[in-house]
Amino acid sequence: MVRLIAFLVGVFFSGMLLIGLGDTIIGAIKEPAVPTAEHEFHKMPLAEKFPHDGPLGKYDKGQLQRGLKVYAEVCSACHSLKLVSFRDFAALGYDEEQVKAIAKGWKTEVPSINPETGEPATRPGIPADRIPSPFPNEVAARAANNNALPPDLSLITKARANGPAYVYSLLIGYEETQPAELLKKFPDAKTPDGLHYNPYFANLNIAMAAPLAADDQVTYDDGTKATKAQMAKDVAAFLTWTAEPKMENRKSAGWAALGFLIIFTVLAWMSYKSIWADKKH
Amino acid sequence: MSFPWANEYKPQNAVTKWVDERLPLPRLVYNAVGAGYPVPRNLNYFWNFGVLAGVALVIQIVTGIVLAMHYYASVDGAFNSVEHIMRDVNAGWFIRYAHMNGASFFFIVVYIHIFRGLFYGSYKAPREMIWLLGVVIFLLMMATAFMGYVLPWGQMSFWGAQVITGFFSAIPLVGEPLRQLLLGGFAPDQAALNRFFSLHYLLPFVIAGVIILHVWALHIPGSSNPTGVSVKAEQDTVPFHPYYTAKDGFGLGVFLIGFVAITFFAPNLLGHPDNYIQANPLSTPAHIVPEWYFLPFYAILKAFTVNFGIPFTGIVLIEAKLMGVLAMFGSILLLFFLPWLDTSPVRSGHYRPLFRKFFWYGLIPSLVVLTYCGAQPPYTQWVVLSQIAAAYYFAHFLIILPIVSRIERPLPLPNSITEAVTGKPLQTATA
């Protein structure tokens, strides 16, 4: 009885799937999938290497400091970094005084209240503060950005596939005009007004205008030449750090754990062999 | 215990004797995983995975309890509390990544454990109850993992919950009210998050309870083995301790090396980037996919594309969506009937030439294809492939296995485990 019912259920499910298979194939022949501009012109991120890649990779503190400068002077005009505190910048190689100075000198002040009247007010940042956001709320952010919402960047490199390379590619990937081939093939896919063509962005048209418009937009303190590619790479590295601040602890703990486990496993292997030595199996 | 030659627990001193007379817990452990449990001497490395699954559960419970000390089940606070764990809690990044990847490794070892059972016929008499309890554990694990994935309240958490609870709305008449009852609202929200957290904390202990039954049921007939030939005499077995504790110790080392390598060097490899975006009910991700271990079942769900009805009348009896949901649950529930679908008296796939062909060239490829297709967007080629693979999956268990069991001529079995191992016939004192 069980086998009879099973047989009928099997015939039903498999049969419906095979009918569905025929239906899918007929459907694909009758109405072949329409190619889209996104499908054909979207590019995968460039294969850019970073010093923190790989199991032995470490952050380059000089690069993170440069990236912070790019974020502070360019990105932070629109993008928040809500999960990071000023105190965290100690990990970039700044000492306590420098962290205090960065917090105090940040161009957006920290929301607060007037201690006498209780009215909303702002005050200079201190190391314990989170990085203040450029807009008080989502409505204000959208209002200032043509109804687009600049995403928080704290986790952006983990929230996109191949994140660091994606951020880098997106920042240098803007194209002044759409490829002629695209417009020829997809006349309707013209970039709408107010958007910007960028083949690394999922739907090709991004609301953000090219933020790194020219070389030397940021003046680096360490004398590095601030080309667009250099700035893009530095800020991508910085945003990797904001998303994964404990990466170096993680990798060094990983090596210690692996070392321990390899010794453990070798010893376990030897005791296994010795215990079974006289037992054929 | 059915082995007369099993070692008997003998308390070594006055204290253990005192304990043994009042609460024989050391005796229980001795008989369960000590020298008092005789195990076939010919087990291969596939038999390590039961113990490894137990270890994986312990890792999940220990890391999970610590996470729960810092986690905050609120739609506004959950995402940030996870990031607080990652950034500010001492070694919080380790606990969280270990828990996240621990779930994946739990499924890896359990899948291998299930395949071991499928290939070596571990579900057959007299071990049906072990198998049935195992399927219960598998279902509980899936529920636990699903609810755990919702807790960080990222985009995939939210939309995954939306899709999975949406299955219930496919049920005619009561579907939508049932879905609202499960969620505590019209969409995943605070009520759903709170109850998922509560159940996610509860179910692992239920799993632990069913594992006790699973192991208890195992100890009635004892472990099976790669030949599938039953234990006949003492020479066929070795005491679990030290023989298999040593072998499991080595297996555990290898397992932990893999687990540590992923957890410390590629912790987000098995996750989805969208879950690092806080849940937003107003913004649907371009492409909703479940965690990798649900992909074959998700592919089966999506493979049903046509309604079942009376041809040429337009009357629909079962909608494609409902059929997909039934098939997805059915694809797991059919495992409950496996002991009665595969009627071949030969357990091990080694001695079943026809079964073995269908297993390696049919079942395994179809599951690989389903896993791959489950993660793909609904383009024609992936739908076609998953329809073929899903059709094979159901046919394999429900049609092919019962027929194969009937028509197959198995290879000759060794007379005993000892003979299979040493090449010499088993010699018993009585024989």
Cβ <8 Å between A158 and B273: yes
Q: How far apart are CA B402 and CA A6, in angstroms?
A: 9
Query: CB–CB of A238/A64 below 8 Å?
Result: yes
Strand ranges for B22-114 from DSSP E: 38-40
Residue B266's SS3 state is coil
Averaged over A84-88, what is the pLDDT? 97
Query: Considering chain A, what is the average pLDDT of its residues?
Result: 95
* Closest C-alpha to A215, from A225, A227, A224: A227
* Closest C-alpha to B116, from B337, B351, B371, B348: B348
Q: How far apart are CA B224 and CA B44, in angstroms?
A: 11
Residue B11's SS3 state is coil
Strand partners, B237: B40
What is the ipTM for the molecules in this complex?
0.94
CA A280 to chain B, closest CA, distance in angstroms equals: 7
Q: Which of residues 96-135 of A touch B (CB under 8 A)?
A: none
Q: Determine the pLDDT at residue B431.
A: 43
Q: Determine the pLDDT at residue B40.
A: 96
Query: Is residue B232 among the annotated active site residues?
Result: no
Q: Which of residues 19-38 of A touch B (CB under 8 A)?
A: 19-21, 23-25, 27-28, 33
CA A167 to chain B, closest CA, distance in angstroms equals: 14
The packing angle between helices B25-33 and B190-219, to 10°, is: 80
Query: Is residue B76 among the annotated active site residues?
Result: no
* Closest C-alpha to B366, from B299, B426, B415, B430: B299
What does the DSSP assignment read for B111-164? HHHHHHHHHTTTTSTT-HHHHHHHHHHHHHHHHHHHHHHHTT-BHHHHHHHHHH
Q: How far apart are CA B368 and CA B370, in angstroms?
A: 5
Q: Determine the pLDDT at residue B424.
A: 85
Q: How far apart are CA A126 and CA A123, in angstroms?
A: 9
Of B248, B274, B342, B419, the catalytic one is B248
CATH class (in words) of the domain with range B40-422: mainly alpha
Size of interface A-B (CB pairs under 8 A): 170
Strand partners, B205: none
Query: Is residue B321 among the annotated active site residues?
Result: no
Query: CB–CB of B294/B142 below 8 Å?
Result: yes
Q: How far apart are CA B152 and CA B280, in angstroms?
A: 13
Q: Determine the pLDDT at residue B72.
A: 95
Q: Can you give the pLDDT of all 431 residues of chain B as single tens digits? A: 468 899 999 999 999 999 999 999 999 999 999 999 999 999 999 999 999 999 999 999 999 999 999 999 999 999 999 999 999 999 999 999 999 999 999 999 999 999 999 999 999 999 999 999 999 999 999 999 999 999 999 999 999 999 999 988 888 889 999 999 999 999 999 999 999 999 999 999 999 999 999 999 999 999 999 999 999 999 999 999 999 999 999 999 999 999 999 999 999 999 999 999 999 999 999 889 999 999 999 999 999 999 988 888 888 889 899 999 999 999 999 999 999 999 999 999 999 999 999 999 999 999 999 999 999 988 899 999 999 999 999 999 999 999 999 999 999 999 999 999 988 888 765 54
User: Phi/psi zone of residue A118: left (φ > 0), alpha (ψ -120 to 50 degrees), beta?
Assistant: left
CA R_g for chain A: 27
The answer for residues whose C-beta is within 8 angstroms of residue B176's C-beta and 6 or more apart is B169
Say yes or no: B123 contacts chain A, CB-CB below 8 A: no
Domain locations in chain B as residue ranges = 40-422
Q: Determine the pLDDT at residue A39.
A: 87
Q: Among A4, A14, A258, which would you mutate to test the B interface (most chain B Cβ atoms within 10 Å of its Cβ)?
A: A14
Q: How far apart are CA B391 and CA B306, in angstroms?
A: 14
Strand partners, B318: B308
Cβ <8 Å between A17 and B304: yes
Q: Which residue of A has its CA nearest to B40?
A: A281
Q: Which residue of A has its CA nearest to B383?
A: A24
Q: Determine the pLDDT at residue B428.
A: 64
Tell me the C-alpha to C-alpha distance, in Å, between residue B239 and each of A35, B3, B43, B196, B234.
64, 11, 12, 43, 10
Q: Determine the pLDDT at residue B339.
A: 97
Q: Which residue of B has its CA nearest to A9?
A: B398
How far does Cα A55 stand from its chain's mean position? 19
Say yes or no: B267 contacts chain A, CB-CB below 8 A: yes
Tell me how many degrees the CA angle B39-B45-B47 measures, rounded to the nearest 5: 45
In tens, the pLDDT along A116-128 reads: 999 999 999 999 9
Query: Is residue B291 among the annotated active site residues?
Result: yes
Please give the structure tokens belonging to residue A25: 């194939």
Q: How far apart are CA B233 and CA B289, in angstroms?
A: 51
pTM: 0.95
Assign A201 a pLDDT band (cuts: 50, 70, 90).
Answer: very high
Residue B388's SS3 state is helix
Strand-strand pairing, B315-318 and B308-310: antiparallel
User: B89 exposed, middle or buried (CB, 10 Å; 0-12, 13-18, 19+)?
Assistant: middle
Query: Is residue B248 among the annotated active site residues?
Result: yes
Residue B331's SS3 state is helix
Please give the structure tokens belonging to residue B288: 């909703």
Tell me the C-alpha to C-alpha distance, in Å, between residue B260 and each of A76, B64, B255.
37, 17, 9
Strand partners, A94: none
